[in-house]
Amino acid sequence: MELALRVLLLVLLLDASLFWFQRVPLQIAAGLGLLLPAFARDARLWAGLTLLTAWPLVWNWPFSDNHDYLRALTALSLTLALGARDAPAALRTSARLLVGGTFLFATLWKLVLSPDFVDGTFFRVTLLADPRFHDLAVLAGGASWETLDAFDAALREVFAGRPEGWPGAFVEPAGLRPLALALTVFTGASEAAIAAAFLWPRLARYRNVLLIAFGASTFAFATVRGFGWLLMALGFAQCAPDERRARIGYVATLFLIELYRSVPWSRMLIDALGLS
Amino acid sequence: MPSPPPRVERRALVAPALLVALALAQLAAWQCAALSPWKGGGFGMFATTDHGAFRTVRVIELGAAGERRIALPSELDRLHRHARELPREANLRRLAEALRAREPGLGPLRVEVWRTEFSPADLAPRLVLVAQAEPL
């Protein structure tokens, strides 16, 4: 449990809120918890962290990202677990259910409530419109930078009230549909599998491998670092005492997610392949 | 005889229960007030193109000579984003009032929020009205 507390404090320290007046108090509290191990085990620290992570949700409503909510719920689960008769077990249960619940609702949104996800349109558009996915569109979707610029220009025309500006010079690359289909199937299947594994005891043995694989693959392009870190920290926290290899896997993936963000590996690959 | 499985302490279920409650509340806000699926703690991110980047807020002055689109100044960015992410009438009204406070000479206003649907066939975008309020 000591290690889980430290990993969670590290995540809170490194991925705090956007505004300085929300971020600095949280970082001071998390930093003190990291420096003073007895303080890290004190439920009052975690109650304070719960308040410091929860009030920005109200202040920023409705702009906070989903992992901001998960961060506050994680701090709350620690506050309550530390007062439990069996604190490590309470933390494992909370962390497991938080991961399972997160992926259950993510799956509900993707596979039930969003027809544009199921038919592949979401990823076709996102690969073209979201700069975080542009490298993937060029590397594996047959897109060129000119295609991406043309899509952007044609969309701007429509948003400016000139629908006749569509499609302009934009032509969807032939490779985009298969890539979007693969991403749709992979994302939908992996998120549903993680939800099932974390919520259904019969699938418990697949939990760690599924969540680590998700972290190592998804966040290579979807560089939502804070969400990735939080999921890996929760994965770590729900590990049974004898799951040492899984805990190492979670920490390694946590660092890998940071590497994905800090090293422009996909752009280097594009340059090396002469696709730029 | 095998020992019974350990009882889960209720306090371990509080945060997960809150997660479920928040996610259900987000679904309700999406249904009733067109909250962006990406916002509100319901984990609808990366599920649909219905999010802020593909939503448009238009403020239109309803003059005697016809309708005129009013540009939104950057000072009203927070209210603009409020209207875009959660286009309930109160938010649209607040945006119109702030605009009128800056430009008292404006006539009656209509505020519209549109989302973008993309054709599965050729990705052609189509604007769909999400919410509107008038006269403000």
What tokens appear for A14 in the block? 């490194």
Contact B9 A86 (CB under 8 A): yes
Residues 1-30 of B with CB under 8 A from A: 6, 8-9, 11-16, 18-20, 22-23, 29
Instruction: List the pLDDT tens digit at each of the 276 positions of chain A.
Output: 888 999 999 999 998 777 888 899 999 999 999 999 999 999 999 999 999 999 999 999 999 999 999 999 999 999 999 999 999 999 999 999 999 999 999 999 999 999 999 999 999 999 999 999 999 999 999 999 999 999 999 999 988 888 888 998 999 999 999 999 999 999 999 999 999 999 999 999 999 999 999 999 999 988 788 999 999 999 999 999 999 999 999 999 999 999 998 999 989 999 998 887
In this structure, is residue A52 part of a structural domain? Answer: yes
Whole domain around residue A58: which residue ranges?
1-83
Contact residues, chain A, for B129 at CB < 8 Å: none
In this structure, is residue A224 part of a structural domain? Answer: no
The residue behind tokens 């889980």 is A4
Contact predicate B105/B87, CB 8 Å:
no
In this structure, is residue A152 part of a structural domain? Answer: no
In this structure, is residue A213 part of a structural domain? Answer: no
Say if residue A267 is exposed, middle or buried (CB neighbours under 10 Å; 0-12, 13-18, 19+). Answer: middle
Q: Count up the domains in chain A and report the number.
A: 1
Residues 70-129 of A with CB under 8 A from B: 70, 73-74, 76-77, 80-81, 83-86, 89-91, 93-94, 97-98, 100-103, 105-106, 109-110, 113-114, 116-117, 119-122, 124-126, 128-129
Which among A74, A73, A110, A93 is positioned nearest to A191, based on CA atoms? A110
State phi, psi for A74 to the nearest 5 degrees: -65, -45
In this structure, is residue A13 part of a structural domain? Answer: yes
Q: How far apart are CA A182 and CA A201, in angstroms?
A: 29
> B46 — contact with chain A (CB < 8 Å)?
yes
In this structure, is residue A46 part of a structural domain? Answer: yes
The three-state secondary structure class of A172 is coil
For B123, the closest of A69, A113, A172 (CB atoms) is A172
- CB contact set of A194 (below 8 Å; sequence gap of 6+): A99, A100, A103, A207, A210, A211, A214
In this structure, is residue A128 part of a structural domain? Answer: no
- What CA–CA distances, in Å, run from A163 to A128, A159, A166, A167? 19, 8, 6, 9
In this structure, is residue A73 part of a structural domain? Answer: yes
How many interchain CB pairs under 8 A, A with B?
A: 155
Indicate the length of chain A as a whole number. Answer: 276
